Amino acid sequence: MNSQRIALLTDSGTNTPASFAAEHDIRIAPLRITFAERAYDSGVDITPAQLAARLPLEVPRTSAPAPQTIRAMLEQVREDGYDRAVFVTISSGLSPTYQTVRMVASQMSGFSVMVVDSLSIGVAAGLVVMAAAEMIDRDVPFTRMQRKLDDLARRTDVFFSTTTLEYLWRGGRISESVYRLGSMLDIKPVITCNESGHYVVARKARGWERSLQAEVSLARDRARRFGRVMLAVCCSDSCDCFDMLEGRLRQEMAVLGVEVVGVVRSDVSADLLVHTGPDLVGVGIQGVAF
C-alpha cells in the first residue's frame, strides 16, 4: 500500500495490462456484455476468445458496470485500508461508466473519490491508468492529481483499425453508407477519439496493411508535439502484430528524435471486441512531461 493510502480503480475497457494491475493493486470493474440468454462480466466470466467465437452468431450489447458494483468496489478498498481513491474510466463519450462512477462517488460518505475521464478507450486509456499509478507511487499530492491526470488524458491518443467494418456498423459507430462503400472498396478507416472522447475517423486507407501503416503515421504526427512519449500496442488474439508495430513506431520516433520512455503491450478486452469485431490492432501514444 502506498504512503498516501490511495486506491486506484478502473474499468475493463481501459485494457490495463493484467500484470501491471496486479503489481499495483488496481481494482478493475468489468463492463457488462449482454447476449439474448444472459449477461456476462467482461474478463470475469467471458474471455475475449469466447466472445470472438460467439460474434458470428450474435452481436451482444455492452453496458457500464452497475452502480451497486461500483459501490461495492469502493467500499471494499476502504475496508482494505485505503483512505481515498482515484477511479479512471474509459471515455465518457463512449460509455456512461464515467457518469455512473461520479454518481456513486458523490454518495460516498467520508471517503474521497477522484473520477478521471480518460477521453479514450483500450490501451490508450490504460496509459492514463498506469500514469495514475506512477503518480501515486511518487507521492504526488492527491489534491494535485486531478489536474495532472486531466491534462495527461488530453495528451494521450489511440488509433485502431479492424479488418471488417461490420461490427462498427452494427454497433452504430459508423453509418450504413460508410459501411457499404468501405466494404466494397476495401477501405479500412483508422479510428481515434476526438477531444470530447467520441469515435471519429482519423484517416482512411485501402487495405489492411495500409491501415496499419496509417496508425504508425498518425502516431508519428502526434509525437511531433512532444519530446518524450510513452507508446502502446494492442492486438486481438487473431492479429499478432506486436513486434512489427513496435519496431515501426520506434523507428519513426528515432527519425523524429523523440525519446521513447517505454512501450506497453496489451491484449483487447471482450467488451471492446463487441464493437470492433475479433480482428483489432491499435496503438496508443502519450506525451510525457519533462
Residue 290 has pLDDT above 60, yes or no: no
**Does 164 lie in the same domain as 282?**
yes
Chain centre to alpha carbon of residue 190: 16
Q: Are residues 131 and 258 in the same domain?
A: no
Is there a single domain that holds both residue 129 and residue 171?
Answer: no
The per-residue b/e assignment along 61-76, b for 16 or more CB within 10 angstroms, e otherwise, is: ebbbbeeebbbebbee
Examine the domain organization and report whether 119 and 230 are in the same domain: no
- Report the alpha-carbon distance of residue 268 to residue 280 in Å, rounded: 8
Distant-in-sequence, close-in-space partners of 138: CB < 8 Å, separation ≥ 6:
none
Q: How many CA atoms lie within 13 A of 232 on its CB side?
A: 30
Q: Per-residue pLDDT tens for 266-282?
A: 999 999 999 889 999 99
Q: Do 108 and 12 have their domain in common?
A: yes
Same domain, 87 and 146: yes
- Is the domain of 195 the same as that of 227? yes
Domain stop point among 94, 125, 154: 154
- Do both 181 and 138 map to the same domain? no
Residues 194 and 139 grouped into a single domain? no
Query: Where residue 197 sits, what CATH number does that domain have?
Result: 3.30.1180.10
C-alpha cell at 108: 460516498
Q: Do residue 102 and residue 44 come from a single domain?
A: yes
∠ at Cα 140 (79, 98), nearest 5°? 60
Q: What are phi and psi of 157, to 5 degrees?
A: -130, 150
HSE of 214, CA atoms in CB hemisphere, 13 A = 22
What is the spatial distance between Cα 78 and Cα 228, in angstroms, rounded to a whole number? 36
Residues 246 and 120 in one domain: no
Is 111 a member of any domain?
Answer: yes
Number of domains comprising the chain = 2
Residue ranges making up the domain that contains 283: 156-287
pLDDT (mean) for 176-180: 82
Mean pLDDT within 4-19: 96
Q: Which position has the higher pLDDT, 175 or 128?
A: 128
Q: What is the mean pLDDT of residues 181-209?
A: 91
Residue 1 forms part of a structural domain: no
Amino acid at 138: R
Distance between CA atoms of residues 256 and 258, nearest Å: 5
Pair 246, 263: CB distance under 8 Å: yes
Rounded to whole angstroms, the Cα distance separating 29 from 64 reads 9
The predicted model gives 111-125 an average pLDDT of 97
Strands, sheet with 61-63, edge to edge from the N-terminal-most edge strand: 39-41, 32-34, 61-63
What's this model's pTM, rounded to 2 decimal places? 0.94
Percentage with pLDDT > 70 across the chain: 99
C-alpha–C-alpha distance, residues 272 and 268, integer Å = 7
Q: What is the CB neighbour count within 10 angstroms for residue 147?
A: 9
CATH number, domain at 13?
Answer: 3.40.50.10170
Same domain, 13 and 143: yes
pLDDT category of residue 65 using cuts at 50, 70 and 90: very high
